[in-house]
Amino acid sequence: MHSFDADTLALVTAVINGFMAIVWLLMVRSFRIAPTAGALLSGAYALFVPSLLCLQCHSWWPGSLGLWPQSYSTLAGFALMSLGVRRLMRLRQRWGDVALIAGSAGLLMLTGAFAKSGTGPSLLPLVLGSSLLSIACARDVLSGGRALQPAWLTALLALPFLLTGLLLLLRAASLLWLPGAGGFFMQGSLDRSTLAWLYLLMTLLIALGLVSIVVMRLVARIHYMTQRDPLTNALNRRAIASELRTLQAQVERGQRHSLVMIDVDHFKRINDQFGHAAGDAALLHLVAVLQANMRELDRLGRLGGEEFCLLLPHTTQNDAGLVAQRMCVALRQQSLQWLGAPIAMTASFGVAACQPHDSQGDTTLAMADWLVYRAKSAGRDRVCVADPEAMLGRMVAAT
Ligand SMILES: Nc1nc2c(ncn2[C@@H]2O[C@H](COP(=O)(O)OP(=O)(O)OP(=O)(O)O)[C@@H](O)[C@H]2O)c(=O)[nH]1
């Protein structure tokens, strides 16, 4: 553990910070991932590099510069880090708080430097300000991560920020008690290289934590996209088939669920008369009307073209018929507004209860499909509800 001295470890930490600055910049520029948070974090990491490198070059640059570059770049780095973390956790930005902490720390250093005329800024405000900002990051990860990740994982991500904040707080305390301690790392009870190791470890953990937040968000987004129809954002065919299989399995255990198949009437005419864009808008309008008339646990999916499927868990066929009737009337009454003019739109609905002994839901789907066909034949703009006995007889006869 102690085979490296503190300066070498600070150099390694600087390299890691530089690498992370490039990683975040790449994510922002090349992939447009978390653009604002990424830019702020990239800036923060870039600012930490000179603050760590200054430990090495301190001896040979102009004495008048003293600790100024190191002090301010560290403080500015923590300020940007704090803003970046808030943005990454999708919390309302607190520019005022960050400006207050960083500004007052900067001002204190400035006044301290003038008071001591040329001795360079006092490190105390810098370390205290950085510590507060790092603790604020831990708090933001905890509050922003509540909705996203399991609690233990959020706590794990917040921990390195908290430890860094506490280390800096300890350092501030040592500066207060030992005002002569001029170096970046704390002197006293813990030796410099142990502290350098701890800072290096915290840097690594924070970098991993921040990147893993983005990776988890991306995985969740990709999972969401594989389940959705890109135009209407309703569930796609694969996702609705999977939901239907789940309901069918519950039917075997005595639950009662229903399915509604919906097909827009004369959709081709809308496309032909008003153009494909109007057709797309009509599909979005249909989904909006259906969603306004369904419960949160109901599932709406697009099977393809202008054909949709609505799963109604814990709903009898009769109740599902009433829901479909409500949707049919709502669609008839709320015409699509296209370029300032109304376009009348209706749909045909087929309603069937989820059938037993139908693990894939094929029979249920076929029944609802057949009922839509019947609604179309009977003049469209209506709901047909299954009569299971009569229907199964007819479907068997038809095959
Ligand atoms: N705008 C648009 N049109 C689509 C989309 N998917 C399929 N269509 C069109 O939807 C139309 C479906 O026409 P048909 O199957 O004849 O059905 P219909 O005109 O609604 O007639 P009925 O169902 O008998 O009332 C076709 O012209 C497809 O090109 C889409 O995503 N956007």
Closest residue CA from atom 15 of ligand 1: 268
Which of 268, 269, 308, 376 for mutating ligand 1's site (highest number of atoms within 8 Å of CB)?
A: 268
Measured CA to CA, the distance from residue 5 to residue 372 in angstroms comes to: 77
Distance in Å, CA 186 to ligand 1 centroid: 72
Give yes or no for residue 231 CB within 6 A of ligand 1: yes
Give yes or no for residue 58 CB within 6 A of ligand 1: no
Give yes or no for residue 266 CB within 6 A of ligand 1: yes
What does 156-196 look like in DSSP terms, one character per residue?
A: HHHHHHHHHHHHHHHHHHHHHH-TT--SSS--SSS-HHHHH
| Long-range residue pairs from 198-203, CB within 8 A, at least 24 positions apart, any chain | 198/163, 198/167, 199/9, 199/10, 199/13, 199/164, 199/167, 200/9, 200/12, 200/13, 200/16, 201/160, 202/160, 202/163, 202/164, 202/167, 203/13, 203/16, 203/17
What domains can be seen in the chain, in order of their start residue? 6-227 (1.20.1070), 237-398 (3.30.70.270)
Q: What angle do CA 288, 291, 294 make, to 5 degrees?
A: 155
Contact 75, 126 (CB under 8 A): yes
Contact 122, 106 (CB under 8 A): no
What does 188-212 look like in DSSP terms, one character per residue?
A: SSS-HHHHHHHHHHHHHHHHHHHHH
Give yes or no for residue 350 CB within 6 A of ligand 1: no
Which of 302, 306, 343 for mutating ligand 1's site (highest number of atoms within 8 Å of CB)?
A: 306
Ordered per-residue pLDDT tens for the chain, 399 residues? 456 788 889 899 999 999 999 999 999 998 888 899 999 999 999 999 988 887 656 555 555 555 667 778 888 899 999 999 999 998 988 888 888 888 887 777 777 666 554 444 467 788 888 899 999 999 999 988 776 667 788 888 899 999 999 988 888 887 777 655 554 444 444 567 888 899 899 999 999 999 988 888 889 889 999 999 999 999 999 999 999 999 999 999 999 999 999 999 999 999 999 999 999 999 999 999 999 999 999 999 999 999 999 999 999 999 999 999 999 999 999 999 999 999 999 999 999 999 999 999 999 999 999 999 999 999 999 999 998 566 555 554 544
Closest residue CA from atom 16 of ligand 1: 268
Task: State the closest ligand 1 atom to the C-alpha of 267, by its place in the atom list counted from 1.
Answer: 20
Q: In this structure, how many other beta carbons lie within 10 angstroms of the beta carbon of residue 23?
A: 17
Threshold 0.80, pTM exceeds: no
ipTM: 0.93
Distance in Å, CA 260 to ligand 1 centroid: 19
Give yes or no for residue 369 CB within 6 A of ligand 1: no
Contact 91, 140 (CB under 8 A): yes
Give yes or no for residue 262 CB within 6 A of ligand 1: no
3-state SS assignment for residue 388: helix
Give yes or no for residue 264 CB within 6 A of ligand 1: yes
Distance in Å, CA 235 to ligand 1 centroid: 19
362-377 and 237-252 are packed helices; what angle lies between their axes, rounded to 10 degrees?
110
What one-character DSSP code corresponds to residue 59? T
For residue 128, give every residue at least 6 positions away whose Cβ sits within 8 Å of its Cβ, in sequence order, or none: 105, 168, 169, 172
Distance in Å, CA 358 to ligand 1 centroid: 29
What one-character DSSP code corresponds to residue 43? H
